[in-house]
Chain A
Amino acid sequence: MTLTAKDVAEIMRLLEESSFDSLSLEINGIKLNFQRGSQARMPPASGNVSSPATAPPVTHPATSKAKPPCEPGLLDVPSPLLGVFYRAPKPGEPPFVEIGTKVSADAVVGIVEVMKLMNSVRAGVAGEVVEILAENGALVEYGEVLLRVRPEVRK
Chain B
Amino acid sequence: MSIRRILIANRGEIAVRVMRTSKALGIETVLAASEADLDSLPARLADRTVCIGPARPSESYLKIDTIVQAALSVKADAIHPGYGFLSERAPLARLCEEQGVIFLGPSSTQIEALGDKLGARARAAAAGVPVAPGGAAETLGEAMVLGREIRAPLLVKAVGGGGGRGMKRVDRLQDLPQAMELAAAEAGAAFGDARVYLERFVAHGRHVEVQVLGDGKGEVIHLGERDCSVQRRYQKLIEETPAPGLSGNLRASILEAAVRFAKQMQYRSAGTVEFLVDSEREAFYFLEMNARIQVEHPVTEAVTGVDLVAEQIAIAEGRGLRLRQDEVRPNGCAMECRINAEDPARDFQPSPGTVRAAVWPAGESIRVDTHIVSGSCIPPFYDSLLAKIIAHGPDRSVTLSSMRRAIGETRIEGVTTNLAFHAEMLADPEFEHGGVETAFLERFLERRPRPLEV
Contact = CB atoms under 8 A, between A and B. Distances in A.
Interface of A: 55-56, 58-62, 81-84, 113-115, 117, 139, 141-144
Interface stretch (B52-60, B220-228, B277-285, B446-454): B52-60
B140 interface: no
Given A82-B70, A84-B73, A117-B65, A139 B50 contact: yes
Contacts of B35: 55-56, 58, 60, 142-143
Contact of A58 (B38, B60, B66, B68): B38
Nearest to B43: A61
A138 to B, nearest CB: 8
15 contacts: A58-B38, A58-B39, A60-B51, A62-B50, A81-B53, A82-B52, A82-B53, A83-B66, A84-B69, A114-B65, A115-B68, A115-B69, A142-B52, A143-B51, A144-B51
A115 B51 contact: no
Contact of A59 (B39, B55, B60, B74): B39
Contacts of A62: 50-51
A143 B49 CA distance: 13
B36 interface: yes
5 closest A-B pairs by CB: A139-B73, A115-B65, A141-B51, A142-B51, A142-B53
B379 interface: yes
Contacts of A55: 35, 54
Interface in B2-56: 35-36, 38-39, 43, 49-55
A56 B35 CA distance: 8
B55 A56 contact: yes
B38 A139 contact: no
Contacts of A142: 35, 51-54, 60
B69 A83 contact: yes
Nearest to B74: A139
B38 A82 contact: no
A84 to B, nearest CB: 6
B36 A56 contact: yes
Given A59-B38, A139-B74, A82 B379 contact: no
A6 B153 CA distance: 86
A81 B38 contact: no
Contacts of A117: 65
- Counting chain A CB atoms within 10 Å of each CB, the highest count among B68, B70, B73, B377 belongs to B73
B185 interface: no
Contacts of A83: 66, 69, 73
B50 A82 contact: yes
Given A141-B52, A142-B52, A143-B51, A60 B38 contact: yes
- Counting chain B CB atoms within 10 Å of each CB, the highest count among A83, A84, A144 belongs to A83
B95 interface: yes
A28 B62 CA distance: 61
A133 to B, nearest CB: 15
A81 B50 CA distance: 11
B58 to A, nearest CB: 13
B39 A82 contact: no
Nearest to A115: B65
Given A60-B35, A143-B35, A82 B51 contact: yes
A61 B65 contact: no
A83 B71 CA distance: 10
- Counting chain B CB atoms within 10 Å of each CB, the highest count among A55, A81, A83 belongs to A81
Given A56-B35, A82-B70, 4 more contacts: A59-B38, A115-B69, A139-B50, A142-B53
A61 B95 CA distance: 28
B41 to A, nearest CB: 14
A83 B65 CA distance: 9
Contacts of B53: 81-82, 142
Contacts of B377: 56
- Counting chain A CB atoms within 10 Å of each CB, the highest count among B39, B50, B53, B69 belongs to B69
A114 B55 contact: no
A83 B70 CA distance: 7
A113 B72 CA distance: 12
Nearest to A83: B69
Nearest to A64: B38
A114 B38 contact: no
Nearest to A51: B35
A86 B242 CA distance: 56
Nearest to A61: B38
A139 B43 CA distance: 18
A142 B63 CA distance: 12
B48 to A, nearest CB: 10
B51 A61 contact: yes
A144 B38 CA distance: 13
B103 to A, nearest CB: 15
Contacts of A141: 50-52
Contacts of B95: 115
Nearest to B70: A82
Contacts of A60: 35, 38, 51
A141 B51 CA distance: 5
A120 B30 CA distance: 26
B97 to A, nearest CB: 14
A99 B312 CA distance: 49
Nearest to B34: A142
